[in-house]
A and B are shown apart, each in its own frame.
Chain A
Amino acid sequence: MTTGGTYAGGIWSWITTVDHKRIGILYFVSSLVFFLVGGIEAMFIRLQLATPENTVLSAQAYNQLFTMHGVTMLLFAVMPMSAAFFNFIVPLQIGARDVAFPRLNAFSYWLFLFGALFLNSSFFLGGAPDVGWFAYANLTSSQFSPGHGVDFYILGLALAGAGSIVAALNFIVTIINLRAPGMTFMRLPLFTWMTFVVSFLIILAFPPFTISTVFLLFDRMFGTLFFEPAGGGDPRLWQHLFWIFGHPEVYILILPAFGIISDVIPTFSRKPLFGYPVVVYSGVLIAFLGFGVWAHHMFAVGLGPVATSAFSGLTMLIAIPTGVKIFNWIATMWGGALRFRSAMLFSIGLVAMFVIGGLSGVMHSSAPADLQQTDTYFVVAHFHYVLFGGSILGLFAGVYYWFPKVTGRFLNERLGAVHFWLMFLGLNLTFFPMHFAGLHGQPRRTFTYPAGLGFEGFNMVSTVGAVVTFLAVLVFLVNLVRSLRTAPTAEANPWEASTLEWSISSPPPPHNFDHTPEVTSRDPLWHDGIAPPPPGEEEFHMPNPSFWPLVVAGGLLLVMAGALVGLPLVLLGVAVTLVGIYGWSFEPIH
């Protein structure tokens, strides 16, 4: 047993940290803040839509809020909260002392944070983007969106997206190279597996998005005509490029949650994961198929029956590996000894809710049916069952599960159960009626709707549900704050789990493992699957803190701001970036 770690040290120690655990905590706190921001935006949306022809928000304000709700929840809340777990948990699960490139890891975090803050600052600097998170051309042209909102969108997401790509490369290298001896790929915990898969999705999906935003930037700033029909451009080009990113993005958001519950369910069932190889392969298959279905977001665009058939059929295929995962989770529970701790409640909640979102997804995959459903509240219901019922519940499962490992403290189980049931009730009240509203003809992205079309009741129930969901989040925050003020009593393996992160103290020491473990089994803590360490102290070297990643990221932030302010600031930003890269390269390693 190693001695426990602490998180001692002032603010400077956090700013210069390259410790994957501290960076994980930074990701978590930041993403939680943005989760609250996105949630408050959602509350405004629901208040406006509570009654027909309501005037809580102006059309302009509503359009900014629904755009930023989407961007914030997807890119600044769910993705970085997944990244928080990648950072904290993956090195521990594979028996490593840090990620492969610790300073690059810090750099990814700062890029994400600066991108998110930069984009959100637009609320106070002339207005946030109001063109939807999908930002369809040619509504985003300087003719139809003359303000700077779209520029903030392009530049902010360029920063955050670069951070995601860098982080993904880091995790791919880490998982390939830093696995402990004996930790073969088919012994990796499922969460690490899904991190690996998602990292590939990120490096393949973000570049098309970056390219399309660069095209858009050129259209807006330098008068090119990529998306301008009058000049021979085509707005549909944006849609294709965007969804080649946008659909894999959905799996970037959901697969980490799948990974989490694939670790949680076996632990609280006291049974190994049923069909481990099949669960792994189906995750990989979902990721592959995810790149071949983007045009199912575009069935109404008029692609012609051949392309539509192909994308319709491929989309249906995704139901197979997804269904297989669901069955394997249920089979893991079958015959087990289930302990309904909060982490388990949220995991079961994910399975129950994701089935609903998956089935409505099958309905959309049928292109003719989708022609009625697309761009209605039916779709809003569908993807909130997937992303709230799926990703968010899964991430909360992860929070309750790994909280003792991260902090050495427990979240209160009773409050956890209250949190779960309130959230379960709230999300169903919010999103279930949207199925009906959509099928009965309510389009999405509308700041108001007339009385008399029969939408009133559904929307009122949704708004009540949103309030309940918000209360559930407050319960969680209370739980979080209360728990952080309790004494650290968690042992190394409080849940009697099977994976390596539970073999070391809670919280782990800065170097994680006194001895690099040698793994001999897929569930090492259940089967004496760690070889006894050799005698004597193991020599290792931990990286020094560094502020250069912050300097480089800050320089890039100045470049982005300069794109809106003027050339001198761009040049200053380039200078800062270059100085930062120089300092980073020649930083002494002791």
Chain B
Amino acid sequence: MTDGRPGYRGHRPILVFAALAITLVAAACGGDFPQSSLRPQSDVAREIDSLFRGIFWWAMGVLVVVEGALVVAIIRFRERPGAEKPKPVHGNTALEIAWTLAPALILIFIGVPTMITLWRVDRPPPSSDIRVEVIGHQWWWEFNYPDLGVTTANELHVPVGKTVDLRLKSADVVHSFWFPRVAGKRDLVPGTENQLWFTPDSVGVYPGQCAEFCGTSHALMGMLLFVDTPEEFERWAAREASPQESGAEPRPSDDPSVLAGREVFFGAGGCISCHAIRGTPAAGILGPDLTHVGSRSTIAAGVLDNTPDNLVRWINEPHDVKPGNLMLDMGLSDEQARQVSAYLLSLE
């Protein structure tokens, strides 16, 4: 036995720890966090954020009191040589009632705002200015605007100040729709339809991604939210609604590789077995609709910027870019891939 040997050697470890913690907190509050839930840009996200901040400060209060009491006990009641034997206190009814009631009271201050926010957020949308059907696929997003005749993928455009009414479905497994800047998560469950709404209040581009594990490339199921001015949105919607081509003839192009790429797309590439381009014979339904794909800023569900080189990479090495996904490597030559890439980028 080693009675009396102190296992406790001052408060230095605690001080080091506190210094580290403060540095970390300072680093965590500054900086640019484009996907942060703490930078709300819609009515719903702001409600949730202010609810969270209220709870956060209650929690901080409790944390300080409890950890403080613990530290005081550690310092004050160390065993000292020659001290009296501690009194064998078995309890104290008044104290125990007090510290049962105290958390209960605090919970009222947390529970009431929770219920108020819950019933405001979790209800049918107050209006349906923009209706969008969202369909989750492994691992990309399909967005249909039934009132506008628009179908697109991975990039959701909405006008600022309008209430967006989303109907969420899944084509395969459970996914979760999450743009932290404008709303909390809502799952896309196969066999059911879920609903989510928000009213964005600031123009901008906000990243989001799938938040329910949905298989191999769950991490690569990103998306972008474009909150446009009303004019921008109208222009975008009008363009997206228009078919890419009218009639069976390809649109003329100055660039011969665009026409060659179109040949490959509709022929040897086999692209049309999965992809659609409205106004052309391409009417595949397994992959994203590529109508106006040239005007999108990213491809492969937010994984790559929409550039000629990235398109070539995506066409030639789809499984390096996104492991396990359904896009087939059609074995195109580099030249063919370049041509298809030029054709797709011409689809503005």
Chain A residues near B (Cβ < 8 Å): 58-60, 63, 130-132, 136, 138-139, 144, 229-230, 233-236, 269-272, 274-278, 300-302, 304-305, 308-309, 312-313, 316-317, 319-320, 323-324, 326-328, 330-331, 333-342, 344-345, 348, 351-352, 355-356, 359-360, 362-363, 365-376, 410, 413, 416-417, 421, 424-425, 428-429, 432-433, 436, 439-443, 445-450, 452-454, 457-458, 461, 491, 494, 526
Contact = CB atoms under 8 A, between A and B. Distances in A.
A254 to B, nearest CB: 17
Contacts of B35: 440-442, 453-454
26 contacts: A59-B216, A59-B324, A229-B190, A229-B191, A269-B86, A300-B184, A300-B212, A316-B110, A320-B103, A320-B107, A327-B66, A330-B70, A339-B79, A340-B8, A360-B59, A365-B114, A366-B52, A372-B48, A375-B185, A416-B7, A424-B13, A441-B34, A445-B213, A448-B219, A454-B35, A491-B1
Given A60-B324, A338-B78, A494 B91 contact: no
Interface stretch (B25-33, B234-242, B274-282, B337-345): B25-33
Size range of the chain B interface in the assembly: 35 or more
A337 B24 contact: no
Contacts of A338: 73-74, 77-79
Interface in B1-56: 1-2, 5-9, 13, 17, 20-21, 24, 27-28, 31-38, 45, 47-49, 51-52, 55-56
A294 B132 CA distance: 31
Residue from A60, A352, A366, A445 having most chain B Cβ neighbours under 10 A: A366
Nearest to A344: B7
Contacts of A269: 77, 86
B13 A421 contact: yes
Given A337-B86, A413-B5, A494-B1, A366 B62 contact: no
Contacts of A433: 24, 28
Interface of B: 1-2, 5-9, 13, 17, 20-21, 24, 27-28, 31-38, 45, 47-49, 51-52, 55-56, 59, 62-63, 66-67, 69-70, 73-74, 77-80, 83, 85-92, 95-96, 99-100, 102-104, 107, 110-111, 114-115, 117-119, 121-123, 138, 172-174, 176, 178, 180, 183-187, 189-192, 194-195, 207, 209-220, 222, 323-324
A334 B219 contact: no
B55 A369 contact: yes
Contacts of A304: 122
A88 B6 CA distance: 29
Given A300-B186, A432-B24, A366 B33 contact: no
B212 A375 contact: yes
B149 to A, nearest CB: 27
A368 B121 contact: yes
B85 to A, nearest CB: 7
B111 A369 contact: no
Contacts of B174: 136, 138-139, 235
